[in-house]
Amino acid sequence: MTATLCDIGSMTPEQLRMARAALDWSAERLADECGIGVNTVRRIEKGRGALYETIQKLQKTLEAAGVEFIGEGEYRGDGGPGVRLRKGLI
Cβ proximity of 65 and 33 under 8 Å: yes
User: Domains in the chain and their CATH numbers?
Assistant: 13-85 (1.10.260.40)
Cβ proximity of 74 and 89 under 8 Å: no
- CA 46, CA 8: separation in Å to the nearest integer? 19
Q: Could you report the average pLDDT of every consecutive run of 10 residues in the chain (90 residues)? A: 51 95 98 97 92 93 95 74 82
SS3 of 51, please? Answer: coil
